[in-house]
Amino acid sequence: DTAVSQTPKYLVTQMGNDKSIKCEQNLGHDTMYWYKQDSKKFLKIMFSYNNKELIINETVPNRFSPKSPDKAHLNLHINSLELGDSAVYFCASSLQQGGATEAFFGQGTRLTVV
């Protein structure tokens, strides 16, 4: 049973397109996250949702819009894709917010903008 699953695993698209990445967790966790991992493997938080409410919104262009229809799902929509958006995007979840509990990561979505 996959705990945190993301789709698609790979996404290749042209500049200017709009795309979505979906994430689902079956762990019953309250908090979900989106992280971006760049080509140098640096993992940086983008958004955090707790019980469908946006808690953290780091300095991310407003072309990125997260949506949480329920506690188990957190999707990421990206408008007007740019070359610099190419990265691996990881969804994660944890029982509580922040560093007090383990975060479980999905397998990642490798986004390539051409």
* Closer of 3 and 15 to another protein (Cβ): 3
Q: For residue 2, state whether it binds another protein (rule: CB under 8 A).
A: no
* Closer of 14 and 42 to another protein (Cβ): 42
Q: How far is CA 17 from CA 20, 74, 79, 85, 107, in A?
A: 10, 21, 7, 12, 23
H helices within 7-90, ranges in order?
A: none
- The encoded tokens of residue 48 equal 């955090």
Residue 103 pairs in a beta bridge with: 94
* Closer of 8 and 14 to another protein (Cβ): 8
User: Could you say which residues in the range 40-79 bind another protein, by CB under 8 A?
Assistant: 40-45, 48, 56
Total number of residues that touch another protein (CB under 8 A): 26
Contacts of 110 (CB under 8 A, 6+ apart): 9, 10, 11, 88
Q: For residue 20, state whether it binds another protein (rule: CB under 8 A).
A: no
Window contacting another protein (CB under 8 A); options: 17-25, 65-73, 75-83, 97-105: 97-105
- Contact criterion met (CB below 8 Å) for 6 and 109: yes
* Closer of 15 and 44 to another protein (Cβ): 44
- Contact criterion met (CB below 8 Å) for 51 and 34: no
Residues that bind another protein (CB under 8 A): 4, 33, 40-45, 48, 56, 90, 92, 96-108, 110
